[in-house]
Structure 1
């Protein structure tokens, strides 16, 4: 590691400080723990939450800093990766210096720090993606993808615990809230939506995707209908923005594929007014899981794209993806808030959760602000990171020349811990 310190500032390898935090294990949590902890919210519980976040954030960031330090020299000197490193170290240094939180005033100051850091890190995902693409060929593609998956999963984990604490703090200070009173079963506890109804999420995402595709191709485009069947009452606790992102990306791929294929066939068809085949969404509920299958007849995935389907380093397509990423200066951790500079479409809208008037910012509003046809090469791999984060899975089956079946499996009990890369698993590599 000595060679790094010769090129970078001294903070590149602060041995004693960083080693102390890397030696600590992250303490994973489950959705159920988040729900149970926040259901009867008191001042002491809020302060306990603050101290968990205060120690957990620098621990998790320290592990990712160490990951970056272990990249090949030619990769860590990439300007995008180097900028991400600086952002991570600044956050690590800030959070590790936060003193024990003892009062509500201490917590309010801590929340201001969290919000500031979350905002500062909006540039991380596009910078990481551009860095990975630019380093394609300088490092084994499988290792690059492993690094990217670890970084993104850890980023999601930090965002979850930080935003959960901010949401609990906002709830505690809300005029309608009575400390110690149990929150209603039908509402959010922090960022956790207690009853995600799969059918409703698919319907909302479907409408948003139709709007996106019409913006891309014009109002006269014929779009496939989205049919939903199966267990229509299936519900489970989940972080809504995660689910909306996955379903939105899968439906977007299917709707665009079917619409484009239908347009190509229209001129040759004996019946040009015949509608495109619908997208079939089947919801299946078992004792422990909910499975959502999305089936389309969009022609399938070209064989030459299959090796890069789940990869962040896109091989032959990397130059085009790089150009597109350059148009997206900021992405939220949920990668929903994609904005081209100067484009304020979809901002400022919110969704009211329950009858208490609690405002939850809608990821769908910002999802629909994403520039049409802006392919970022991250939709499927990032969707799988989200699916696997709460111990679910995402798989695709492509029938070339016909269509694609996507299978999303979700743990419906909320009792699975977040899937983190721990020190023990890092040491085993």
Structure 2
């Protein structure tokens, strides 16, 4: 079936989607459900939450509060899924038909169809059933990020980079939001059922998590943990004798703030990974170029350090990561924050095929043996809080996927923060991560009204 160019490129109305689907084969028709099923759910807006709300709600947990949380999750998850299903349906059909985008649609529709049928949660037993379904869904959706990324790269000639990036940012931010509320409820249920917990009582002294929210997230500790993981990763990629840059930390080292630990670890891990890789590779190139200057047996100077500065203000914490890795190549600058990568797309597609599951957590920066070693060194007290995001993707240590920075920015902006990067080509990069310190900012969601207004 040949479609008008304007219809392919500008996005279709739902009526045009239905009309075109009616002309496809019966096999293709099975891929799509009537969109009327979504109408009632799409008519609802998501109800944003803040870290402070999560903390206050879970601080003195009772059976009534747990059941209230279950019913919020029971209605909120299918609402948010319905909006994203509608977004996918409004893509050009050539994009919708991409096997990777289609696979994501199928995963989302199955979860939506299952969750929308749940009756009101009235008992702890009802909640246990809901939690079981949520846990299975979270695991089933681990392939979503690499599939979306492959679909976007393959469809880069069918839509503009701006449209594709807007779609990806909306989908990924919504994905984070669903996992936050789902995993928060699972963690609250786990706390309520723990032998040490007394319903309605305050948390015992020394317990620093309310669900998935880390009450006193200390940036210094997160940076130290990420630095160990990234340095171990670099040794796996470049050899045990590689010269690594020192990672120097200065500034307000004792600052703490409430945050979801896995989010911060992912952002810091990606920034450090980029900085270490760029610094090591530039240093190795210089060593090769200047090898004749060093007599046999003499060691060349070490690579320049990576400087990390913590700055605490009244409302925010700012983390600056500065390296001397040569900066971002000029031909990559247009794609820095984009999920579309132009001429680099084909190589990234090959890399993404090697990562079938991706949770977007710090653990994915580690290979298995390094991960086990780090776990032993750090001890249980410093391990990321248990959640369904913790499975490894077994990502090869030097495998570039082209989505670390754009995905890190999605994570940063989710809780009303920001991530900016300034590159001096030929010298290095300064990355600035700003985090809301008080936890009083609502999650930044893309609402239906803003999507339909475009």
Separation of aligned partners in 1, 2:23 and 2:430: 51
Alignment of structure 1 residues 93-242 onto 2, 5 Å:
93-183=113-203, 184=205, 187-242=208-263
Separation of aligned partners in 2, 1:176 and 1:102: 24
Report the CA distance between 1:347 and its aligned residue.
6.9
Write out per-residue CA displacement over residues 248-285 of structure 1, whole angstroms, 9 at most, x where no aligned residue: 00001001111111111124064643111100000000
Count of aligned residue pairs for this structure pair: 424
Match of 1:371 in 2: 396
Match of 1:294 in 2: 321
Report the CA distance between 1:247 and its aligned residue.
0.3
Q: Report SS of the residue matched to 1:395.
A: strand
Tell whether the 8 Å contact from 1:130 to 1:322 is kept in structure 2 after alignment.
yes
Report the CA distance between 1:300 and its aligned residue.
0.6
Matched, 1:401 2:426: yes
Separation of aligned partners in 2, 1:97 and 1:389: 29
Tell whether the 8 Å contact from 2:135 to 2:388 is kept in structure 1 after alignment.
no
Report the CA distance between 1:424 and its aligned residue.
1.7
TM-score by length of 1: 0.94
Separation of aligned partners in 2, 1:393 and 1:319: 29
Distance 1:361 1:104, change over 3 A: closer
Tell whether the 8 Å contact from 1:148 to 1:312 is kept in structure 2 after alignment.
yes
Tell whether the 8 Å contact from 1:296 to 1:404 is kept in structure 2 after alignment.
yes
Match of 2:416 in 1: 391
Task: Tell me whether 254-263 or 6-15 shows the greater mean CA deviation.
Answer: 6-15
Distance 1:129 1:335, change over 3 A: farther
Q: Report SS of the residue matched to 2:141.
A: helix
Task: Tell me whether 14-23 or 372-381 shows the greater mean CA deviation.
Answer: 14-23
Structure 2 residue runs of 5 or longer lacking an equivalent are: 1-16
Matched, 1:310 2:310: no
Distance 1:79 1:335, change over 3 A: farther
Write out per-residue CA displacement over residues 87-126 of structure 1, whole angstroms, 9 at most, x where no aligned residue: 1110100000011000000000100000111111111111
Distance 1:292 1:5, change over 3 A: farther
Tell whether the 8 Å contact from 2:249 to 2:307 is kept in structure 1 after alignment.
yes
Match of 2:59 in 1: 39
Matched, 1:325 2:352: yes
Match of 1:285 in 2: 312
Which structure's CA Rg is the greater one? 2
Separation of aligned partners in 2, 1:353 and 1:360: 12
Report the CA distance between 1:344 and its aligned residue.
8.1
Write out per-residue CA displacement over residues 38-85 of structure 1, whole angstroms, 9 at most, x where no aligned residue: 000010000000000000000000000000000001100111111111
Write out per-residue CA displacement over residues 174-198 of structure 1, whole angstroms, 9 at most, x where no aligned residue: 1111111112475010000011111
Report the CA distance between 1:208 and its aligned residue.
0.5
Report the CA distance between 1:339 and its aligned residue.
9.1
Separation of aligned partners in 2, 1:90 and 1:339: 31
Separation of aligned partners in 2, 1:345 and 1:372: 10
Write out per-residue CA displacement over residues 5-42 of structure 1, whole angstroms, 9 at most, x where no aligned residue: 44343672423320000000000000000000000001
Tell me how large the CA RMSD over aligned residues is.
2.3
Task: Tell me whether 212-221 or 12-21 shows the greater mean CA deviation.
Answer: 12-21
Matched, 1:417 2:437: no
Structure 1 residue runs of 5 or longer lacking an equivalent are: none
Match of 2:407 in 1: 382
Q: Report SS of the residue matched to 2:386.
A: strand
